[in-house]
Amino acid sequence: MRTLLLALLLSPLCTYAAEATPEAAVSALWRALSHDAGVSADLPALTRLFHADAVVFGGYYRQGEPQLRRTAGADFLQANARIGSKGFYECEVARQLHRYDRFAVAYSVVESRSDQAASQPDFVGVNSIQLQQVGEQWQVLSLHYQVEKPGLPIPLGGGRSGRCLD
Protein backbone atom coordinates (compact mmCIF):
# COMPACT_ATOMS: atom_id res chain seq x y z
CA MET A 1 0.00 0.00 0.00
CA ARG A 2 2.84 2.42 0.84
CA THR A 3 4.49 1.67 -2.49
CA LEU A 4 1.27 2.47 -4.35
CA LEU A 5 0.86 5.73 -2.43
CA LEU A 6 4.47 6.72 -3.14
CA ALA A 7 4.04 5.91 -6.83
CA LEU A 8 0.89 8.05 -7.00
CA LEU A 9 2.65 10.94 -5.30
CA LEU A 10 5.70 10.76 -7.57
CA SER A 11 3.92 10.19 -10.89
CA PRO A 12 3.06 13.89 -11.40
CA LEU A 13 6.75 14.71 -10.90
CA CYS A 14 7.78 12.23 -13.58
CA THR A 15 5.20 13.61 -15.99
CA TYR A 16 6.11 17.19 -15.11
CA ALA A 17 9.77 16.56 -15.88
CA ALA A 18 8.77 15.20 -19.29
CA GLU A 19 7.71 18.70 -20.37
CA ALA A 20 10.85 20.48 -19.28
CA THR A 21 11.59 21.35 -22.94
CA PRO A 22 9.36 22.75 -25.67
CA GLU A 23 10.03 19.62 -27.76
CA ALA A 24 8.79 17.42 -24.91
CA ALA A 25 5.67 19.58 -24.52
CA VAL A 26 4.79 19.29 -28.22
CA SER A 27 5.30 15.51 -28.14
CA ALA A 28 3.20 15.26 -24.98
CA LEU A 29 0.42 17.27 -26.68
CA TRP A 30 0.06 14.75 -29.53
CA ARG A 31 0.23 11.79 -27.14
CA ALA A 32 -2.40 13.33 -24.84
CA LEU A 33 -4.83 14.00 -27.71
CA SER A 34 -4.54 10.42 -29.01
CA HIS A 35 -6.86 7.83 -27.53
CA ASP A 36 -8.54 4.49 -28.14
CA ALA A 37 -12.25 4.09 -28.86
CA GLY A 38 -14.40 4.24 -25.73
CA VAL A 39 -12.10 6.61 -23.82
CA SER A 40 -11.30 10.30 -23.96
CA ALA A 41 -8.07 12.15 -24.54
CA ASP A 42 -5.70 12.39 -21.56
CA LEU A 43 -7.39 15.34 -19.85
CA PRO A 44 -4.96 15.62 -16.90
CA ALA A 45 -2.03 15.88 -19.32
CA LEU A 46 -3.85 18.36 -21.56
CA THR A 47 -4.85 20.47 -18.56
CA ARG A 48 -1.22 20.58 -17.46
CA LEU A 49 -0.02 21.41 -20.98
CA PHE A 50 -2.46 24.23 -21.77
CA HIS A 51 -1.93 27.62 -20.15
CA ALA A 52 -5.04 28.90 -18.34
CA ASP A 53 -5.42 31.65 -20.98
CA ALA A 54 -4.70 29.42 -24.00
CA VAL A 55 -6.65 29.73 -27.22
CA VAL A 56 -7.09 27.32 -30.16
CA PHE A 57 -7.75 28.36 -33.74
CA GLY A 58 -8.82 25.82 -36.34
CA GLY A 59 -8.81 26.31 -40.08
CA TYR A 60 -10.61 23.96 -42.45
CA TYR A 61 -12.74 23.96 -45.59
CA ARG A 62 -16.49 23.45 -45.73
CA GLN A 63 -18.00 23.05 -49.21
CA GLY A 64 -14.84 24.58 -50.65
CA GLU A 65 -15.03 27.69 -48.47
CA PRO A 66 -12.34 28.45 -45.88
CA GLN A 67 -13.52 28.44 -42.27
CA LEU A 68 -11.77 29.61 -39.11
CA ARG A 69 -12.95 28.71 -35.63
CA ARG A 70 -11.65 30.19 -32.37
CA THR A 71 -12.01 28.19 -29.17
CA ALA A 72 -10.95 29.10 -25.64
CA GLY A 73 -8.45 26.61 -24.26
CA ALA A 74 -10.88 25.55 -21.51
CA ASP A 75 -13.56 24.75 -24.09
CA PHE A 76 -11.03 22.81 -26.17
CA LEU A 77 -10.15 20.75 -23.10
CA GLN A 78 -13.82 20.12 -22.34
CA ALA A 79 -14.42 18.91 -25.91
CA ASN A 80 -11.48 16.51 -25.63
CA ALA A 81 -12.83 15.12 -22.35
CA ARG A 82 -15.71 13.49 -24.24
CA ILE A 83 -15.54 9.75 -24.73
CA GLY A 84 -15.36 8.89 -28.41
CA SER A 85 -16.90 5.93 -30.16
CA LYS A 86 -13.85 5.85 -32.47
CA GLY A 87 -10.19 6.03 -31.72
CA PHE A 88 -8.21 9.17 -32.53
CA TYR A 89 -4.49 8.90 -33.12
CA GLU A 90 -2.17 11.80 -33.84
CA CYS A 91 1.11 11.00 -35.63
CA GLU A 92 3.49 13.95 -35.84
CA VAL A 93 5.59 13.37 -38.97
CA ALA A 94 7.53 16.66 -39.13
CA ARG A 95 8.47 19.48 -36.78
CA GLN A 96 10.47 22.68 -36.86
CA LEU A 97 11.01 24.39 -33.54
CA HIS A 98 12.42 27.82 -32.78
CA ARG A 99 13.14 28.98 -29.26
CA TYR A 100 14.17 32.21 -27.65
CA ASP A 101 14.55 32.38 -23.87
CA ARG A 102 11.19 31.28 -22.37
CA PHE A 103 9.26 31.42 -25.68
CA ALA A 104 9.08 28.78 -28.40
CA VAL A 105 7.10 28.20 -31.56
CA ALA A 106 6.67 24.84 -33.25
CA TYR A 107 5.56 24.18 -36.82
CA SER A 108 4.22 20.65 -36.79
CA VAL A 109 2.74 18.38 -39.49
CA VAL A 110 0.40 15.77 -38.04
CA GLU A 111 -1.49 12.87 -39.58
CA SER A 112 -4.73 11.89 -37.85
CA ARG A 113 -6.24 8.41 -37.95
CA SER A 114 -9.29 6.82 -36.38
CA ASP A 115 -7.63 3.40 -36.89
CA GLN A 116 -4.05 3.47 -35.66
CA ALA A 117 -3.07 0.66 -38.06
CA ALA A 118 -4.51 2.40 -41.15
CA SER A 119 -1.94 2.94 -43.89
CA GLN A 120 -3.49 6.28 -44.92
CA PRO A 121 -4.46 9.08 -42.53
CA ASP A 122 -8.05 10.28 -42.31
CA PHE A 123 -6.66 13.79 -42.67
CA VAL A 124 -3.42 15.75 -42.37
CA GLY A 125 -2.98 19.06 -40.63
CA VAL A 126 -0.32 21.67 -40.15
CA ASN A 127 -0.04 23.29 -36.73
CA SER A 128 1.56 26.36 -35.23
CA ILE A 129 2.05 25.97 -31.50
CA GLN A 130 3.21 28.86 -29.33
CA LEU A 131 4.68 27.83 -26.00
CA GLN A 132 5.80 29.69 -22.89
CA GLN A 133 7.99 28.39 -20.10
CA VAL A 134 6.11 28.87 -16.81
CA GLY A 135 8.48 27.95 -14.00
CA GLU A 136 10.06 24.74 -15.29
CA GLN A 137 6.96 23.69 -17.28
CA TRP A 138 6.42 24.50 -20.97
CA GLN A 139 2.78 25.30 -21.70
CA VAL A 140 0.75 25.89 -24.85
CA LEU A 141 -0.34 29.53 -25.17
CA SER A 142 -1.96 29.03 -28.55
CA LEU A 143 -2.51 26.30 -31.06
CA HIS A 144 -3.46 27.13 -34.65
CA TYR A 145 -4.19 24.18 -36.89
CA GLN A 146 -5.08 24.07 -40.56
CA VAL A 147 -6.57 20.90 -42.01
CA GLU A 148 -5.14 20.01 -45.41
CA LYS A 149 -6.99 21.58 -48.34
CA PRO A 150 -8.16 19.06 -50.94
CA GLY A 151 -5.81 19.23 -53.90
CA LEU A 152 -3.12 21.11 -51.96
CA PRO A 153 -1.05 18.59 -50.00
CA ILE A 154 0.90 19.76 -46.97
CA PRO A 155 4.63 19.23 -47.54
CA LEU A 156 5.99 16.74 -45.02
CA GLY A 157 9.28 18.62 -44.71
CA GLY A 158 11.45 15.52 -44.80
CA GLY A 159 9.01 13.47 -42.72
CA ARG A 160 7.44 10.23 -43.92
CA SER A 161 3.77 9.35 -43.83
CA GLY A 162 3.00 6.95 -40.99
CA ARG A 163 6.40 7.43 -39.38
CA CYS A 164 5.76 9.27 -36.12
CA LEU A 165 8.53 11.36 -34.58
CA ASP A 166 7.89 9.85 -31.13
- What is the helix, strand, coil percentage profile of the chain, to 5? 25, 45, 30
> Residue 141 belongs to what domain range?
2-147
Percent of the chain with pLDDT over 70: 89
Mean of the per-residue pLDDT values of the chain: 91
What is the structure's pLDDT at 13?
A: 44
102-161 confidence digits (pLDDT tens)? 999 999 999 999 999 999 999 999 999 999 999 999 999 999 999 999 999 999 989 999
Residue 160 belongs to some domain of the structure: no
Residue 154 belongs to some domain of the structure: no
Q: Look at the chain and report how many structural domains it folds into.
A: 1
Residue 121 belongs to some domain of the structure: yes
DSSP symbol at 36: -
Residue 12 belongs to some domain of the structure: yes
Residue 33 belongs to some domain of the structure: yes
What mean pLDDT comes out for the span 60-77? 96
Residues 81 and 40 sit within 8 Å (Cβ to Cβ): yes
Report the CATH number that the domain containing residue 100 is assigned in CATH. 3.10.450.50
The Cα–Cα gap between 57 and 146 comes to 8
